[in-house]
Amino acid sequence: MTAFISALILVGYDAVVLGLPAHGGSDGVETNVVEAAVLVGAFLAANGLQPDHVIAHSYGGAVATLLALAGDAPLSFTTISAPTKFALVLSEISAAFNLSGEAERIFSI
């Protein structure tokens, strides 16, 4: 994700790159979408950040989706190589928010 951040900064965006726990060079052995969303949300809140645009890679796509559902959605939302087994991620999100079966079905469309 860091490869294109300098280009975003050069055209005037403020950019933040976060490494999720247990991903890449980050500490930890395991995490889940809810835990990661709580940590990212806490980082954003502690720094007074409300992103207008979100670009998320892989598992970060599920984390960013959960954050968008929990609060104000960004103006734009792009995921790159988000989980191909989104049903598993959706079940975690559904459990975290106590979504009804109908809400889960609509969200999966």
What pLDDT sits at residue 42? 93
Q: From CA 74, how far away is CA 27, in angstroms rounded?
A: 28
Domains and CATH numbers, the chain: 2-108 (3.40.50)
Q: What is the pLDDT of residues 32-79, one digit of tens each?
A: 888 888 999 999 999 999 999 999 888 888 888 888 888 878 889 888
CA distances from 57 to 36, 50, 102 (A): 14, 19, 28
DSSP class of residue 100 equals -
**How much is the pTM?**
0.69
Q: What is the pLDDT of residues 80-102, one digit of tens each?
A: 887 666 677 778 778 888 888 88
3-state SS, 6-29, equals HHHHHCCCCCCCCCCCCCCCCCCC
Residue 109 has pLDDT above 60, yes or no: no
Average pLDDT, rounded, for the chain: 83
Choice among 13-17, 25-29, 71-75 with the minimum mean pLDDT = 25-29
